[in-house]
Structure 1
Amino acid sequence: MPLRVEAMRQLRRRRTLVIGGVLAAMPFVILAAFQIGGTPGRPDRTTFIDLATASGANFAVTMLFVGTGFMLVIPVALFCGDTVASEASWSSLRYLLAAPVPRARLLARKFAVGLAFSAVAIVMLPAIGLVVGTVAYGWGDLKLPAGASLPAGEALPRIAIAVAFVFLSELVIAALAFWLSTATDAPLGAVGGAVFLSIITGVLDAVTALGDLREWLPAHWQYAWADALQPQLEWGGMLQGVSLSLSYAVVLLVLAFRGFARKDVVS
């Protein structure tokens, strides 16, 4: 199945339109919350959310902050976890395999399309947030929680780095969901399993008693993109997070391709 055909099939599906609509609407929901509730802020500390109304760039970063950890996990798990299992649940997978196309090539194309849709979802949230925030709060410097600020022209490339990191850090979720998708005929099980394990790793990361063991959890590095928005860009945390995500993703993809190559597909 050509990539273009697979992409069009996924694009026309209702869940793609629903998740796209939710992500597109979220900046407007957050904007409405700020308009109704007033300017966010706390006396004890300052976060990116507290600075959301400072400029369009700040609002875009706020959307990335809100999406990291759970909201952006859902579309990644959905696009990569639903792709094979849904074919099996519809009893159409065996017909796709009847064509003279190696199983590995079919999986590679499905995973590539799933990653592409995941990337669009991750970029969409802060991109729409930037537009909405600029219209609502104007174009200006990116104010940082520590009190410094980045000029608007410098802030945009930094935000792009942060978004790229979020995408790379979600590769472990994409690979996990894809592996589960090849192992089950239930799309909800594959998607839900990936989301559930993401939540579990987040909970474990909050257990300080685990000490340095938390550094082996993907969730431990999920907010490392904030290092890209410091006055002096810091790469250390992001490189560790990306290397861990890629390592887990490679293992999970090997399991997915190996298991599917030996699987007796009857649906």
Structure 2
Amino acid sequence: MSGTDPDAGVHTDPAALDELTEAAGREHTGVGQDGAVEGYRASRTLRLGVELRRQLKRRRTQLVLGFVVLLPFILVVAFEIGQSSPNRRSGGFVDLATASAPNFVVLALFVAGGFLLPTIVALFFGDTIASEASWSSLKYLLAIPVPRHRVLRQKAVTSGLLSILALVLLPLISLVVGLLWYGAGDAISPTGDAIPFGRSLIVIALSVVYIVIQLAWVAGLALLLSVSTDAPLGAVGGTVLVAILSQILDQITALGGLRDYLPTHYAYAWMDLIATDIDWTNMAAGVLSAVVYGTVLTLLGARRFATKDITS
């Protein structure tokens, strides 16, 4: 059916009038055709730079990075107080720490790899979603609205960048401190192999890359626990406890080949790089294990967060 406009003398379609009225209403209220607020773009919400700056301003981030910078100096003081020979050419990694700057970096990674580095990664990833829930700000963040998958992705990427920063900062500061105190000598392995200083820098870089990849399982587990609880301490502590338990079980030789499936079994495989003839077997197995564990745990975390009832 159609009507006639007495002023214009033309026929109008009621459906067309309804569409024009609806469009005018959307223009007046600022609502687009898809029902979203005019100008709203999901890609513009929770920008990575904003979230990264926010996390860098947090006290816990500053304390963690500050301690990472301070650790090499603590080790130097410990060696200065104790008895150490800078010309030592044999012994374990601790005995060889003062032989050269590369050896000092190896020691820093060695002493931090068992507990400190997994704890740092667990802290950054376990605190992602759980902290927002504990502050009762998560539901408001989603009401902006920021899509759930974007919230999880942006916070996970931010946590990953902060973790990598800490993991790179430790050997970098250790190298500078080692150069100042012990000089740019060869990297000496416990087996007596001597690696030139230039090549040792490549070895250190590869070692850091391996450690970053190997700790992917810690990041995945911490993320899963972070979306499963409203207590950041529970997510971080739970991840650290699993890491400690895995290290304890790895020391039980009675488990035999079952230890190969523990996520921490290949944590120190990067030490195979400190040799003139490198065996890549353990490192390849460690990368595969970490990628599998990390991928599965991250996907479980994403699935959990996508279906979780957000109440805080």
Residue 129 (1) aligns with residue 156 (2): no
Partner Cα separation in structure 1 for residue 113 and residue 129 of structure 2? 26
Q: What is the aligned counterpart of 2:164 among 95, 111, 119?
A: 119
Aligned to 2:21: none
Partner Cα separation in structure 2 for residue 226 and residue 176 of structure 1? 25
Deviations 1:25-67 (A, max 9, x none): 11111100000011179xxx82211101011111111101111
Residue 37 (1) aligns with residue 86 (2): no
Q: What value does the CA root-mean-square deviation take over the aligned residues? A: 1.4
Partner Cα separation in structure 1 for residue 204 and residue 277 of structure 2? 14
Q: Is this contact kept in 2: 1:86–1:187, CA < 8 A?
A: yes
Q: Is this contact kept in 2: 1:221–1:238, CA < 8 A?
A: yes
Q: Note the residue ranges of structure 2 that are not aligned, 5 or more in a row.
A: 1-45
User: Residue 54 of structure 1 aligns to a residue in which SS?
Assistant: coil
Aligned to 1:64: 109
Aligned to 1:20: 65
Aligned to 2:238: 193
Deviation, 1:101, is 2.8
Give the greater-gyration-radius structure (CA): 2
Aligned to 2:122: 77
User: Residue 123 of structure 1 aligns to a residue in which SS?
Assistant: helix
- Greater relative contact order (CA < 8 Å, ≥ 6 in sequence): 1
Q: Is this contact kept in 1: 2:216–2:290, CA < 8 A?
A: yes
Aligned to 1:87: 132
Deviations 1:131-175 (A, max 9, x none): 001100111111111111100011100111111111111010011
Q: Note the residue ranges of structure 1 that are not aligned, 5 or more in a row.
A: none
User: Residue 237 of structure 1 aligns to a residue in which SS?
Assistant: helix
TM-score (normalised: structure 1): 0.97
TM-score (normalised: structure 2): 0.83
1:39-54 residue pairs with structure 2 within 5 A? 39=84, 46-54=91-99
Aligned to 2:151: 106
Deviation, 1:14, is 0.4
**Alignment identity in percent?**
48
Deviations 1:67-125 (A, max 9, x none): 11111111100000001100000011111111233211210111111011111111111
User: Residue 99 of structure 1 aligns to a residue in which SS?
Assistant: coil
Partner Cα separation in structure 2 for residue 185 and residue 234 of structure 1? 44
User: Residue 177 of structure 2 aligns to a residue in which SS?
Assistant: helix
Q: Which has the larger helix fraction?
A: 1
Paired AA for residue 185 in structure 1: D
Aligned to 2:308: 263
Partner Cα separation in structure 1 for residue 49 and residue 288 of structure 2? 30
Count of aligned residue pairs for this structure pair: 265
Partner Cα separation in structure 2 for residue 56 and residue 130 of structure 1? 6
Q: Which moved further from structure 2: 84-93 or 32-41?
A: 32-41
